[in-house]
Amino acid sequence: GIQVEQSPPDLILQEGANSTLRCNFSDSVNNLQWFHQNPWGQLINLFYIPSGTKQNGRLSATTVATERYSLLYISSSQTTDSGVYFCAVRGGAAGNKLTFGGGTRVLVKP
């Protein structure tokens, strides 16, 4: 099946810093989503972005489908940005299933 790799696995930031999270995938995709998992376990939808660039406040994302990667940008980080960020894709032979990466654990220090 399709493989999804996220980097870095862990990220420690000082409040106000910017950062970039990366998601690489092994096959063509027709869906790519970024999620933020909060401390209570809830998965919050950040972006639905199979291609192109989107922005939502301090967060933005870019997917380059032809090169099989996506980037999530966090600008002016806040302590509430802490948590785990997951990339998930749907595509390849398993077109009906969303496959998750291992996540990037982010800690923003005040």
Partner 1 sequence: DGGITQSPKYLFRKEGQNVTLSCEQNLNHDAMYWYRQDPGQGLRLIYYSQIVNDFQKGDIAEGYSVSREKKESFPLTVTSAQKNPTAFYLCASRASGGGEQFFGPGTRLTVL
Select 66 or 96, whichever has its Cβ closest to partner 1. 96
Binding flag, residue 96, partner 1 (CB under 8 A) = yes
Q: What is the DSSP string of 72-104?
A: EEE-S--GGG-EEEEEEEEETTEEEEEEE---E
- Cβ-based neighbour number of residue 87 at 10 Å: 31
Pick one of 19, 33, 77, 82: the residue that binds partner 1 (CB under 8 A): 33
Listed ranges 17-25, 62-70, 72-80, 99-107: which one lies at the site for partner 1 (CB under 8 A): 99-107
Q: Is 55 in the site for partner 1 (CB under 8 A)?
A: no
- One residue of 39, 41, 57, 110 binding partner 1 per CB under 8 A: 41
Cβ–Cβ under 8 Å, residues 10 and 57: no
Residue 35 in contact with partner 1, rule: CB under 8 A? yes
Give yes or no for residue 83 binding partner 1 (CB under 8 A): no
Give the DSSP letter of residue 39: T
Whether 70 contacts 84, CB under 8 Å = no
Q: Which residues contact 38 (CB under 8 A, 6 or more apart)?
A: 44, 83
Residues near partner 1 (CB under 8 A)? 1, 30-31, 33, 35, 40-43, 45, 48, 86, 88, 90, 96-103
